Amino acid sequence: MKTLTAKIPRGLETRLRLLARKRQETVRKALDREVQGDLRFAELAQEYCGMFAGPRNLSSRRGYGTVRAR
């Protein structure tokens, strides 16, 4: 593992430490999670899966994608 020394504003340090404490993880892990963008859309939307009615694939609907003359 490499060592990196960086000067960051106090506010950023405070937010990073609070985030790590909230997630009950180390500051290194919290920083890694933020850099990697660990909160992806699929993870955020997972609790809503299956909540809505309708076809799973909109292209299965009749008339979808047909061109109508005007």
State the burial class of residue 25 (Cβ atoms within 10 Å of its Cβ: 0-12, 13-18, 19+): middle
The whole-number pLDDT of residue 18 equals: 92
Which residues lie closer than 8 Å to 58 by C-beta, 6 or more apart? Answer: 64
Global pTM reads: 0.48
- Going residue by residue through the chain (70 aa), what tens digit of pLDDT does each one get? 888 788 888 998 898 899 899 999 998 888 888 777 755 666 767 777 777 776 666 666 666 666 665 5
What is the token pair recorded at 23? 């997630």
What is the token pair recorded at 13? 């340090």
The whole-number pLDDT of residue 4 equals: 79
The whole-number pLDDT of residue 25 equals: 93
Return d(Cα 38, Cα 19) in angstroms, integer: 13
How far are the Cα atoms of 20, 38, 42 from residue 48, in angstroms, in the given order? 26, 19, 10
The whole-number pLDDT of residue 68 equals: 64
